Amino acid sequence: MSHIEDNIVRAGFSLPLPAVPAGFYLPALRQGDMVYTSGQLPLKDGRLVEPGGKGKVNEINQQDAATAAGAALLNALSAVKFLIGSLDAVERIVKLTVYVASESYFSGQHLVANGASSLLVEFFGEKGRHVRSAVGVAELPLDASVELELIVACNPSPKPE
């Protein structure tokens, strides 16, 4: 097991199997040394995680939504791993964008996003410190509470292709 995946397991999580690519787009894509992921939902075994993964976020359920953001992040990292072979080939977590389906007057999107940001630092250490935007959107696909995307820099050609 890779060093980073070891950190993930030690933190009490596991990397899900990668999603089957939907028709027209890919879970992740490499261009040069940059990997971009698609927007990832807090899905586990094909369903939105409960509690927290479904519906609009407010002051009451924001902690559950933060946990759901962690689940979405694991899907993003899984997509990266299956593209580049190992999370140890990640040179830097560059950028995280977090969209939070927000009820009117809920303005704690940054707290929900911390559910993903904190894991990046826990898993990757200094390499996990990233730039981030967190915004409150009206609705997300499948009525998900959170959608997030990653940009990651990886080492040149970590495996022969």
Binding site for a copy of itself (CB under 8 A): 23-29, 31-34, 36-39, 92, 94-97, 99, 101-102, 104-110, 114, 117-118, 120-121, 129-144, 147, 149, 151, 153
CB-based contacts of 36, cutoff 8 Å, min separation 6: 28, 29, 149, 150, 151
Query: What's the burial of 105, exposed, middle or buried (CB within 10 Å: 0-12/13-18/19+)?
Result: exposed
Which CB sits closer to a copy of itself, 1 or 147? Answer: 147
Rounded CA separation 8/11 (Å):
5
Lookup: tokens for 152: 């990651």
Task: Find the largest Cα–Cα distance for the chain.
Answer: 50
Which CB sits closer to a copy of itself, 1 or 61? Answer: 61
Q: Closest separation between CB of residue 46 and a copy of itself, Å?
A: 15
**What are the phi and psi torsion angles at 96 (to 5°)?**
-125, 130
Which CB sits closer to a copy of itself, 1 or 161? Answer: 161
Q: Closest separation between CB of residue 61 and a copy of itself, Å?
A: 15
Which CB sits closer to a copy of itself, 1 or 106? Answer: 106
Which CB sits closer to a copy of itself, 2 or 97? Answer: 97
CB-based contacts of 27, cutoff 8 Å, min separation 6: 18, 19, 21, 37, 38, 40, 75, 78, 79, 82, 83
Q: Closest separation between CB of residue 103 and a copy of itself, Å?
A: 8
Q: Closest separation between CB of residue 15 and a copy of itself, Å?
A: 19
Q: Closest separation between CB of residue 97 and a copy of itself, Å?
A: 8
